[in-house]
Structure 1
Amino acid sequence: MFRIRRVYDDILPLDRQALVQVQEILRVQFPDLPEREIAKLPQLLRNPLKYRFRSILYVAEEAPAKVRGFALVSHAPDLHFCYLDYIAVTRKRLGGGIGSALYELVRQESRAMGAVGLFFECLPDDPSLCRDPVMLAQNRARLKFYERYGARPVAGTAYETPFKPEDDCPPFLVFDDLGLGIPLARDRAREIVRAILERKYGHRAPAGYIDRVVDSFRDDPVRLRPPRYVQAPGRAQETRPVHLTGDAIALVVNEGHQIHHVHDRGYVEAPARLSKILEALEGTGLFERLEPHHFGEEWIRRVHASDFVDFLKRVCLKVEPGKSVYPYVFPIRNAARPPKELPIRAGYYCIDTFTPLNRNAYSAAKGAVDCALTAARSLLRGHRLAYALVRPPGHHAEKRAFGGFCYFNSTAVAANYLASHGRVAVVDVDYHHGNGTQNIFYERSDVLTVSIHGHPSFAYPYFSGFRDEAGAGEGQGKNINYPLAEHVDGKAYLKVLEKALAKVHKFRPHFLVVALGLDTAKGDPTGTWTLLRSDFLEMGRLFGAMGRPSLVVQEGGYRIRNLGANASAFFTGLWRGFSERNR
């Protein structure tokens, strides 16, 4: 079994390994290809504008991370065509269906990008152009393969004219109409051929060569060579949809969240929040559900103080089932001497009086962390977008304190996990300041923390989130707060978000983590802003347009009536923005 996924760049270790293996396949399968062409493959993906094509790499892999084949496509969005640079399979897997799957995927994706057709070069099956009988047989096999899909060489042009008269086996230009059935107009063909020759061979082509080849396209529409190999001439093979691994938003749900159900009056952090969101997302078709993996507690202890973790675990076990303990005594005068009785000690580790401790708080919070880590790990395994749908939330939990319905900071734990693989930007769009995330990363330079929230003069947590809190030590300048007025509509909010994302862009993160609070919505019982469904759609689009591997972790949002609709809008926008950026 194999999977096919897209490699966007060489940021992730998984992708760097894949690129090395692709380069080795190129060396083996194309021995005449200059090493400099092979070496520049990572640059093609990183800096497409330099080469006037957008390079797209698909790899077929067998676990664990063994590349068995690949296809490299150049997309010209200005002229709406795709050019297949290379498609190759390792010799160990010839005949295993990988080549067919890759080509069918390339056709599928080219259609999705709005291409008028797929162009590529194929060495000739004509003995007058290719004198080597072994190579001639290989060329016939390739052209027969492509002809099954309706792709045939362009006829009646000078495209197969070699650069030098003594050169052997000049390539045909092959055209695949992608099953659209639309003839290729002469003027469009001339534009495309000129682009191919100038962008691919401009530095090598003799003077006047490109003009001569372009001028040789005289038929209108362009004429293709009659079929030679297919049994039913003119009938392209019906292709099956090819599933692209990672071409969906990884969704990890904290199913165990329901054990944390506080029935006390006024407690709005209820299990119905997740069920409403999940119900709305199921109809979008954007998600691939992943089962949560259970990670060790050490990942929590890397961002939270061990004494705090130990306390939370022990005190939750001591609370009577069905009961809750609310902090009511706080260490204002002597923080160095925590009380011995665990329930009284709750105030030593808490920042408010309305976040209870109960028998299941630790287990539910640990489950939320596991989901966030599973979603983060999916980014390292090929997904570009992931969503941890969890409760309880986490962004108010500091290194050694819980509060704001939060016990462990799932967002921070996941961000710290990703930070071992590159720079991370955390953008908190909850109505309330992400004081916990700020506290955890305040002195670090590898994680940029940005929070857009209600001003602490009127919004929880009241004592943090001011504009002048900019980080300390190595983290100086790496914490950015946007405290906003009590009444903010979607238009004003999105302007601030655009400014915040400009700061993120300058940081050049390898990963983007979004702490998604939906409590900025109109009518939320914990907020005062008036964002509408259309605003969440645009918010998601702006994040997707960043084009980074992105993890979204659910934080607040308490108006059950519109919670699902707003979440669905956000992720529709996220997918749309990401797709527009990469297509």
Structure 2
Amino acid sequence: MFRIRRIYDTSLPVNRQAIAQVQQILRDQFPELDKKDIKKLPEQLTNPLKYRFRSILSVAEDDKDRGEVKGFALLLHAPDLKFCYLEYISAAEKMTGRGIGGALYARLRSEARALGVIGIFMECLPDDPALCRDPKILAQNRARLKFYEQYGARPFVDTAYETPVKEGDDNPPFLVFDDLGEDVQLPAQRIRKIVRAILERKYSHLCPKSYIDQVVDSFRDDPVLLREFRYHKKELPKPAQNGPHPVERQIALVVNDMHDIHHIRERGYVESPVRIRSILREIEPTGLFHRIAVRRFAERHLKRIHAADFVDYLKTMCAGLSEGKTLYPYVFPIRNAARPPKEMAVKAGYYCIDTFTPLTHNAFLAAKRAADCALTAARSALEGQRLAYALIRPPGHHAERRAFGGFCYFNNAALAAEELCGYGRVAVLDIDYHHGNGTQDIFYSRRDVLTVSIHGHPRFAYPYFNGFDDETGIERGLGYNLNIPLPEHLDGVGYRVAPGKAIKRIQRFKPAFLVIALGLDTANGDPTGTWSLKGADFRENGRLLGQLGQLGLSTVVIQEGGYDSRVLGSNARQFFRGLWEGTFGD
């Protein structure tokens, strides 16, 4: 099996290794390709101004061994003319015929639709015997055009595009167009601009101006025509739908299907299952979401951000509690790593930061499933999803490297960030009413993850001991933690200054991924907060954060707090509506 992910960063070792393998595939599968064209690949990804295209590289990797690249595709995006050009698509040696090319091309079509382009242009060698004299190559050309035609892609007709640059040359390419299933009309004036851009930006070193002018001027039909279907019936595949928006413009939704096994039936315990139901009831009818299945991840993922003894303690302690038994920490020994308490119940205080976060038989199981949801959402971002949302309980942002608290056991936002930072810089923005002390603690000495928290000032808001604005990181992480503590009483207009400040810092950091720890406890009347944000404020805040997505970021949202079930769902709906509008510019 394989999975497809997009390469955002060329400096990380895992991405450099993938790019090197892509370059080797180019050498193996395109032996006549100039070595300079292979060598320039990393620069293509980082310097769009030089090459006048924004390059989008996707790789198909072994699902178990992320180091093995089985195939790749390079899509060029021209934002000025709103079109895409397929530069290369290929499986590795001995990997052809295994569905890799089809999966990659389907992904590219989704990418192109999300970019709002007219379609994908590409060159394919001709299936006409008059243009290709070698019967073996002719058969290969026919197979390739047959493959693309199943998606509705066909060559332009009645043009001079396939005219050889040098008279007598064999095998000149057709210009092929895939309208992404939209059956669009192709105005001649627009197509001529696109054809000129392709020839000048890609082939100016090979094609004289007179040749380019000749080819461009040959697109005279208005609208420009495509060849009739030759290999398939005329049944154009339509974009996959799951509601009123294409899947690639929807928000991947992963829900903790085991959240209700962790149910504390005690008065005043506000972190209850109704939170999930309230949000789902409001967001699913919008058509902005499509559900994805939760994947299971090994416990080693937890131990990448949490101390192993802490993880093992939670697992053992919870498993040893009987059904219906609730254990609250009640003794808080000095945390001497060399002499932790021996009694399991007393040890709870060794690993906890408060007296109101209980351990139960199912707490570990529910928290582990929430962690799996966060990691699933992160993986969907790696695989090209622009927006993903892990709707989970229990929450996580108060869980530190070796401590639980604030209803939190494992830090879900930090887990997502850790998964993503192997592929590019990550910014974590916490917009819960309470400070994300756990996330700060986990990344405080690192600079590959920027942590930003907007929250009530710790002089009056939980967790009280962290969240001051002079906490900016230590060692290599100095300057990579930003706290924005706010006054006790605040409306939506007053709040809005803080996201603007956070966005500017994130933009300077230039991440590839954004993780939002979403707290809806900033709402007017929330039992754990003091602010008065309303539905319109959540929508506007979502729209502001969505503008970061227009910079090419993939965004993963992790549910944290929010406890007023009367408005919880509607505020979530408003936030995601704004986030979606900001991300896609609608």
2:243 equivalent to 1:238: no
Moved more, 357-366 or 90-99: 90-99
* Structure 1 equivalent of residue 462 of structure 2: 460
Cα gap change, 1:471 to 1:59, in 2 (>3 Å): closer
Shift of 1:259: 3.3
- Aligned equivalent of 2:30: 30
Change (3 A) 1:277 1:17: farther
Where in structure 2 are the equivalents of 1:107-186 lying within 5 Å? 110=112, 113-124=115-126, 129-136=131-138, 138-139=140-141, 142=144, 149=152, 151-157=154-160, 159-165=161-167, 167-175=169-177, 183-186=185-188
2:557 is aligned with 1:552: yes
Structure 2 residue ranges without an equivalent (≥5): none
Aligned 8 A contact 2:14 2:422 in 1? no
Q: 2:298 aligns with which of 295, 300, 311?
A: 295
Letter in 1 for 2:434: H
1:487 aligns with 2:489: yes
Residue 48 of structure 1: aligned partner: 48
2:438 is equivalent to residue 433 of structure 1: no
Hey, what's the Cα distance between the residues in 2 that align with 1:431 and 1:90?
49
What is aligned with 1:522?
524
Q: Does 2:568 correspond to 1:563?
A: yes
- Map 1:376-525; keep pairs closer than 5 Å: 376=378, 385-416=387-418, 418-419=420-421, 423-525=425-527
Find the structure with the greater CA-based Rg: 1
Partners of 1:537 and 1:574 within 8 A in 2:
yes
Work out the CA distance in 1 between the residues paired with 2:97 and 2:422.
Answer: 39
Instruction: Give secondary structure in 1 for the equivalent of 2:567.
Output: helix
1:256 shift after superposition: 3.4
Q: 1:514 to 1:204 in 2, by over 3 A?
A: same
**Match of 2:292, as an amino acid?**
R
Distance 1:447 1:258 in 2: 32
**Separation (CA, whole Å) in 1 of partners of 2:316 and 2:479:** 38
| 1:558–1:38 Cα change, 3 Å | same
- Name the aligned partner's letter for residue 566 of structure 2: R
- The residue aligned with 1:190 is 192
Secondary structure, counterpart of 2:258 in structure 1: helix
TM-score normalized by the length of structure 1 = 0.81
Q: What does the per-residue CA deviation read over 1:329-369, in whole Å, with 9 as the maximum and x for residues that have no partner?
A: 65699999877766566555543343344444444444434
- In terms of mean alpha carbon deviation, does 4-13 or 498-507 score higher? 4-13
Distance in 1, matches of 2:305 and 2:20, equals 34
Secondary structure, counterpart of 2:542 in structure 1 = helix
Shift of 1:452: 0.5
How far is the alpha carbon of 1:508 from its aligned partner? 3.5
- Residues of 1 paired with 2:301 and 2:401: CA distance? 13
Preserved CA contact (<8 Å) 2:539 2:578: no
| 1:436 to 1:92, Cα distance in 2 relative to 1, 3 A | closer
Report if the CA contact (8 A) 1:154-1:222 is conserved.
Answer: no
| Cα deviation, residue 453, structure 1 | 0.3
What SS does the corresponding residue of 1:397 show, helix, strand or coil? coil
Query: Alignment partner of 1:497: what SS?
Result: helix
For each residue in 1:148-168, what CA deviation from the matched residue of structure 2 results, as whole angstroms up to 9, or x when unmatched? 7372333254x3444344644
Structure 1 residue runs of 5 or longer lacking an equivalent are none
What residue identity is the alignment partner of 1:463? F
Q: How many residues align?
A: 575
Partner of 1:221: 222
RMSD: 4.3
Structure 1 residue corresponding to 2:546, chosen from 541, 545, 549: 541
Change (3 A) 1:325 1:205: same
**In 2: Cα distance, 1:177 partner to 1:510 partner:** 29
The 3 A distance-change label for structure 1 pair 552 and 97 is closer
Q: Distance in 2 between matches of 1:151 and 1:300?
A: 49
User: Equivalent residue for 2:39?
Assistant: 39
Distance in 1 of aligned mates of 2:90 and 2:297: 38
Shift of residue 534 of structure 1?
1.6
Q: Tell me the alpha carbon deviations over residues 395-426 of structure 1, each in whole angstroms, 9 at most, x when there is no partner.
A: 22334443322234333345445555654432
Report if aligned partners of 1:395, 1:434 keep a CA contact under 8 Å in 2. yes
In 1: Cα distance, 2:223 partner to 2:336 partner: 86
